[in-house]
Amino acid sequence: MGYLTNKRILLGVTGGIAAYKSADLVRRLQDAGAGVRVAMTPAATEFITPLTMQALSGHPVHLDLLDPAAEAAMGHIELARWADLIIVAPATADFIARLANGEANDLLSTTCLASPSPLVLVPAMNQGMWRKESTLTNVATVQKRGVHILGPDSGSQACGDIGPGRMLEPSAIVDAVSGLFNTGVLNGRKVVITAGPTREAIDPVRYISNHSSGKMGYALADAAVEAGAETILVSGPTNLVANDRARLVPVTTADEMLAACMAELSGCALFIAAAAVCDYRPVEVPTQKIKKTAESMTLLLTRNPDIVATVARHPQRPITIGFAAETANLRQYASDKRLSKNLDAIIANDVSSPDIGFNSDHNQVVWIDASGAEQLPVLSKSQLARQLIAKMAGMIVP
């Protein structure tokens, strides 16, 4: 498998003489396993034709923000979401300046601004332009915002000057961007993740459930896919769209979730229970809607099976990780759950604050395993999922 297997990379090309190297970069990214799409600024098309980039990437090149036909096929916002990573190579002084100013006046700059994914700039320009304080300030500005800068190289330039400003060679770019991914830590591994709530019927129109949105479990599935795993997402009802490179197994009840998980255990290296499973379900579920006649009613509930504990008891158990959603005594309750459910690690999740935990895009957790506890900072669920997957992958015996 290549270093960039399963990765989706948007290659942005801006108007500099080094644009001819972008053609080679497309091939090398593909050789490393990535799917590549190309966006070009108008100036870039003066240096290399969109037809060349289309032939190499196998997809139409994105050129114009105001082209209704191209936007209908894959609009710039969709493109921004599609990309796991954006590389702009070459990145001219002008493009870096526009990015530093937050401008969105062509398709490429707009896509960069709209995308939540990491952005890599590979500067290429005359050495005098590179050395100018304005350029260096713009580079520092975008770097401070988390943009990665690769290069430039130093040496003889197309204009005859000698100095810094040459675009890095495509092979060096591929090596550097491979390092940005958690790539390969779960290559060839099967990972099963539970996500979302379960619903337990009271009657044909009512149910018991909880506030889980599924965001944490779906982010873990994204991170597992990113790390190269064969990913199975066993999900209760949510409004989310699953990663199209994960296999979604939709379920409703705890019983269904248990059956789906047990059916997927063969060959599973890592089991992650992020779902908020209803602990109880009504003992009897009438086939007709319960009529509102009595002033009060009592529901008799029975315990649901414990899915993660059942997996952890299996003779061929995978590395088994649970979450603990708590509103008090976070570490103590979570540690107790880890031991009672026989888990390799548990992720203690304070769900008393609306800014983290249920339904939020952010989360803050404590990782607890046999060696102790580690508090992680508040992170987006995507960032947190990447960190957690890296930790969990480290627990799998090679």
Give catalytic residues, as residue numbers: 159
Q: Based on CB atoms, which residue is closest to ligand PMT, 151 or 357? A: 357
Non-local CB neighbours of 7 within 8 Å, separated by 6+ positions: 33, 34, 35, 84, 85, 181, 183, 226
- Backbone φ and ψ for 10, nearest 5 degrees, come out as -95, 120
**Given candidates 121, 191, 325, 388, which one binds ligand PMT under the rule CB under 6 A?**
325
The interface with ligand PMT within residues 160-199 (CB under 6 A) comprises 194
CB of 299 to ligand PMT, least distance (A): 18
Residue 216 binding ligand PMT, by CB under 6 A: yes
**Given candidates 28, 189, 337, 338, which one binds ligand PMT under the rule CB under 6 A?**
337
CB of 329 to ligand PMT, least distance (A): 12
Residue 308 binding ligand PMT, by CB under 6 A: yes
Residue 234 binding ligand PMT, by CB under 6 A: no
Q: Based on CB atoms, which residue is closest to ligand PMT, 186 or 216? A: 216
Could you tell me which residues are beta bridge partners of residue 11? Answer: 38, 87
Number of residues that bind ligand PMT (CB under 6 A): 27
Residue 3 binding ligand PMT, by CB under 6 A: no
- Backbone φ and ψ for 4, nearest 5 degrees, come out as -115, 25
Residue 271 binding ligand PMT, by CB under 6 A: no
- Angle (nearest 5°) at CA 300 between 294 and 302: 160
**Given candidates 100, 191, 269, 274, which one binds ligand PMT under the rule CB under 6 A?**
274
**Given candidates 327, 352, 353, 359, which one binds ligand PMT under the rule CB under 6 A?**
359
**Given candidates 96, 246, 330, 351, which one binds ligand PMT under the rule CB under 6 A?**
351
Non-local CB neighbours of 245 within 8 Å, separated by 6+ positions: 6, 225, 231
Please answer whether residues 299 and 202 qualify as being in contact, where contact means their C-beta atoms are separated by less than 8 angstroms: yes
Residue 323 binding ligand PMT, by CB under 6 A: yes
Residue 243 binding ligand PMT, by CB under 6 A: no
User: How far is Cα 204 from Cα 17, in angstroms, rounded to an integer?
Assistant: 67
- Backbone φ and ψ for 71, nearest 5 degrees, come out as -65, -30
Amino acid at 212: S
Among 52-60, 222-230, 262-270, 352-360, which window interacts with ligand PMT (CB under 6 A)? 352-360
Residue from 21, 398, 382 nearest 184 by CA? 398
Among 22-30, 107-115, 142-150, 300-308, which window interacts with ligand PMT (CB under 6 A)? 300-308
Residue 358 binding ligand PMT, by CB under 6 A: yes
User: How far is Cα 321 from Cα 317, in angstroms, rounded to an integer?
Assistant: 11
CA atoms within 13 A on the CB side of 340: 8
Non-local CB neighbours of 250 within 8 Å, separated by 6+ positions: 235, 237
User: How far is Cα 263 from Cα 226, in angstroms, rounded to an integer?
Assistant: 24
Among 135-143, 207-215, 227-235, 239-247, which window interacts with ligand PMT (CB under 6 A)? 207-215
Q: Name the DSSP letter for residue 50.
A: H
Query: What are the residues binding ligand PMT (CB under 6 A)?
Result: 194, 212-216, 254, 273-277, 279, 304, 306-308, 322-325, 337, 349, 351, 357-359
